[in-house]
Amino acid sequence: MDAVTGPGPGGGGKGAVAERRADCVASASGELRFTLGDPAAALVLRLRGSGTEVRLPVSGPTAVLPVTAALAEGRWDAYAEPADGVRERLTPGLCDLRGLVDRVPDPDAPVTVRIPYATTRSALSLAVWHRSPHAEAGEVTVQGGRITVAGRLYGARLSASATLEARTDTWYALCPAYVNGTCFTATWHTSAVPAAVSETLPATLGLRPAPDAEPVRVARLLDDIARKEQVFVYPALPLGPSRLRIGYTPANELALRIT
């Protein structure tokens, strides 16, 4: 009944492993090197929700995405394009992302992040961010009715009057940030957040380096984890009849949520 057999000797058979696979190695600089299992003319990256494409030539079995390649923020789906045939979605093989753990970005260049990951349908995609300035979230402490966020700002200077703010359409909360060089720490008391609001939308956090500067979104980008939502989970605080919780959005931005 429904017996399947693995590919015959010599490989290339269309058995249970029919997909086109790409291995991937990330270097600490952020460069990605793909190795394709089957020959292809190009590796095509396609920005989800738009038609934008980037073609990477394949030489031998290898395609390289340099740090300098301009990729807009978002999720990019990876395809293999054979010389004659139809484009096929790639599946991730072995992705060696140890180079991305504890990344320290070049202080003079925009923060460029590309994290390969497997989609829920086991296809290869890249989570891409490109930010300047960028506020990288560090430790978050939730204790005694207070939420403390620590982080580091890249690509802009912090002034002594920097603030951290949370904002949605219906509410707004702000607290001063304590600055030490490029590092900042900011603490909210739950009293700063209006308890009566029933708001399911997350309020993303913005760091305003100086009173007259635009807020910089606080996100956690400099590692190997494409989706932080489930991995970085912080305790909730009671807030009137509801609860206040800090956490990451699907785009890995730090946000407050009232539930």
Partner 1 sequence: MRISFLLHYGYGIGGTIRTVFTLARMLAEQHEVEIVSVFRHRDEPVFDLPPGVTLRPLLDLRAGGADHGHPDLDRPSRLFPRGESRRGQYSALTDRRIAGWLRGADTDAVIGTRPGLNVHIARDARPGVVRVAQEHATFLSHPWPLKLALSAHYPLMDAVVTVTEADAAVYARRLRLPGVWLGAIPNAVPAPQLPPADGSSRIVIAAGRLAWVKRYDRMLRVFERVVRVRPDWQLRLYGDGPWRDRLHVQIEKLGLYNHVHLMGAAHPLDAEWVKGSVSLSTAQLESFGLSIAESMRCGLPVVAADCPYGPGEIITDGEDGLLARNGDLDGLAARLLRLVEDDDLRVRMGRRAVENVARFDPERIAGRYDALLTGLRARRHGRLVGPALGGVYAATMAGRRLRAWTP
Q: Which residues bind partner 1 (CB under 8 A)?
A: 1-9, 11, 13, 15-17, 94-98, 101-102, 139-143, 224-225, 230-235
Residue 24 Cβ vs partner 1, minimum distance, rounded to whole Å: 9
CA angle centred on 98, ends 228 and 53, rounded to 5°: 70
Residue 156 CA to residue 54 CA, distance in Å, equals: 29
Residue 4 Cβ vs partner 1, minimum distance, rounded to whole Å: 5
Residue closer to partner 1 (CB basis): 42 or 244: 244
Closest C-alpha among 157, 165, 140 to residue 217: 165
Residue closer to partner 1 (CB basis): 143 or 170: 143
How far apart, in Å, are the Cα atoms of 224 and each of 102, 195, 214?
Answer: 8, 36, 28
Residue closer to partner 1 (CB basis): 141 or 249: 141
Residue closer to partner 1 (CB basis): 101 or 201: 101
CA angle centred on 98, ends 156 and 43, rounded to 5°: 85
Residue 179 CA to residue 42 CA, distance in Å, equals: 47
Residue 85 Cβ vs partner 1, minimum distance, rounded to whole Å: 23
Residue 256 Cβ vs partner 1, minimum distance, rounded to whole Å: 16
For residue 74, the one-letter residue type is G
Residue 184 Cβ vs partner 1, minimum distance, rounded to whole Å: 16
Specify whether the CB–CB gap between 125 and 116 falls below 8 A. yes
Residue 12 CA to residue 169 CA, distance in Å, equals: 54
Residue closer to partner 1 (CB basis): 143 or 161: 143
For residue 128, the one-letter residue type is V
Residue closer to partner 1 (CB basis): 6 or 51: 6
Residue 86 Cβ vs partner 1, minimum distance, rounded to whole Å: 22
Specify whether the CB–CB gap between 214 and 162 falls below 8 A. no
Residue closer to partner 1 (CB basis): 131 or 220: 220
Residue 229 CA to residue 218 CA, distance in Å, equals: 14
Specify whether the CB–CB gap between 158 and 213 falls below 8 A. no
Residue 102 Cβ vs partner 1, minimum distance, rounded to whole Å: 7
Please, is 214 exposed, middle or buried when counting C-beta atoms within 10 Å of its C-beta (0-12, 13-18, 19+)?
A: exposed
